[in-house]
Chains A and B, each alone.
Chain A
Amino acid sequence: MIFHKINSEFYSGSIYGLAGSNGSGKSTLAQIIAGLLSPTSGKVIHKLDNQNLSIEKLHNHLGFVSPYLVLYDEFSAEENLIHFLKIRGMEIDSERIKSLLDDFSLYERRNDILKAYSSGMKQRIKFIFSLIHSPELLIFDEPTSNLDVKGKDKVYEIIEKESKSKLIIIASNEESDLALCKETLFMEEYK
């Protein structure tokens, strides 16, 4: 058993943190909230406009960034984003793609395949991937890993901007990441 008696409610318009030592289950809890893992007992309820949102439909309302998220290396940044939007069944908004690539300083490298990207650039494209479809729920697991100071500042700026209307959950041990959070859930070893 990883978790015991977790009962929390998260609301949009806020940033929540998940903190705890290595192996405490931050990432696992983040994945359970994102519907990527099923809990052995208990349940996670997602609500949108006061109506329950099924797991099958959650992917169009969820943005997720994590160290173990891998995009398609054989495609360029722009191709990846276009494929993701099309598979989600959404229209291609070239202006939004351009502005997000610009925000994360990747516009000039938009036609390069991801294989040629550095780990910091890959982290930035993951953020664009999580934001491109304007989801209502954003879950960031170790959001600033591999980022330089400029990249971190950009991420914090975007998180603050998005948090006005969206629910953001950050799983991290970085103090600067958790400083953005309104409330933080500390995960301790269960005895």
Chain B
Amino acid sequence: MKKVILRFVKKLFLWKNTNENYLFKYVRTDSNIKRRKVKAFYLFKKDWQSELRTRYAINALAMFILVTISVILFSIGQERVSEHLTGGLLWVVIFFSAMSGLSRAFVSEEDRGTTLTLHLIASPSTIFNGKLIFNVVLVYLMNIAIIVLYSLLFESFILQNIALFFLSALFGSFGIAVSSTIIAAIISKASAKGTLYPVLAFPILLPLILILLELTKFAIDGKSLESALVEIAVLICYDVIMLTASYLLFDFIWKD
């Protein structure tokens, strides 16, 4: 039985150099060509190793997080700040940190002149997937660092419903990563990249940030998950729409 299932799966997904007709031409004809997702993972691995050596984005992000949190701390001083305001400031830090580091996925390639090399080694979808994985990992690491630091340093940041906040941060971070990746691809070919990135990102990320502010308020107030279902649904819809639009657009952005 196990053999039959294995043969069926093999027949369904593999395309060999024979005359047999399989249902999906999912893998290219050569046996040594692996699936697209694996290629994207290797592109991510290359980017990650490159990042660890050059510290192109990590240093910018770390410095930005430290500076913004310190400035907020110093400006608040001994004053008592409301929980809702602290929650709002958290997303301000996250938004501007994302602006400072996430454009690097494509901008660094353009700055170093390696865009042509990327064109020559991978298809547009592999490139987008690889860069997206890189930004998703970077955003999650960045947000974990920000939230941990924030919880330690701001006494008024007390979450009554941690599960709701966790869900919001999970989907919200993914939305930030997807939007930032496609915006980075758009602006990488422009001359004034630094200015263009926040200008383009602001209207695209605004609905996401507004929903996240609302959900953080709910989490601070201790509202139940059920009462925030609409907001969570909007958050997921945002992610899906941005992801779909990005896949549709990327080919055109990348080619010319």
A residues lining the B interface (CB < 8 Å): 34, 36-38, 56-57, 59-60, 62, 64, 66, 68-75, 79, 83-84, 86-91, 129
Contact = CB atoms under 8 A, between A and B. Distances in A.
A64 B50 contact: no
B122 interface: yes
B32 A38 contact: no
Contacts of B255: 38
- Residue in B34, B46, B49, B50 with the greatest tally of chain A CB atoms within 10 Å: B46
B50 A70 contact: no
Nearest to A70: B113
B42 A36 contact: no
B33 A73 contact: no
Contacts of B35: 89
A89 B34 contact: yes
A57 B32 contact: no
Given A59-B119, A59-B122, A70-B117, A88 B39 contact: yes
Contact of A73 (B112, B116, B122): B112
A87 B122 contact: yes
A70 B46 contact: no
Contact of A68 (B49, B113, B121): B113
B9 interface: no
Contacts of B34: 89
A36 B28 contact: no
Contact of A64 (B49, B120, B126): B120
B119 A70 contact: no
6 contacts: A37-B256, A59-B122, A60-B33, A72-B46, A75-B53, A87-B126
A70 B121 contact: no
B50 A74 contact: yes
Contacts of A89: 28, 32-36, 38-39, 42
Interface of B: 28, 32-36, 38-39, 42-43, 45-46, 49-50, 53-54, 112-114, 116-117, 119-126, 130, 255-256
A121 to B, nearest CB: 17
B114 A71 contact: yes
B256 A62 contact: no
Contacts of B113: 68, 70
Nearest to A64: B120
Contacts of A73: 112
Contacts of A38: 255-256
Nearest to B51: A74
A15 to B, nearest CB: 20
A188 B119 CA distance: 29
- Residue in B32, B35, B38, B121 with the greatest tally of chain A CB atoms within 10 Å: B121
Nearest to B255: A38
B51 to A, nearest CB: 9
Contacts of A60: 28, 33
- Residue in B42, B54, B113, B126 with the greatest tally of chain A CB atoms within 10 Å: B42
A130 B45 CA distance: 21
Contact of A90 (B33, B54, B120): B33
B114 A70 contact: yes
A72 B43 CA distance: 13
A51 B1 CA distance: 39
Given A68-B113, A87-B43, A87-B126, A59 B120 contact: yes
- Residue in A57, A69, A71, A89 with the greatest tally of chain B CB atoms within 10 Å: A89
A36 B33 contact: no
A69 B38 contact: no
Given A56-B124, A57-B123, A74-B54, A87 B116 contact: no
B32 A90 contact: yes
Nearest to B130: A87
A68 B116 contact: yes
Contacts of A59: 119-123
Nearest to A126: B117
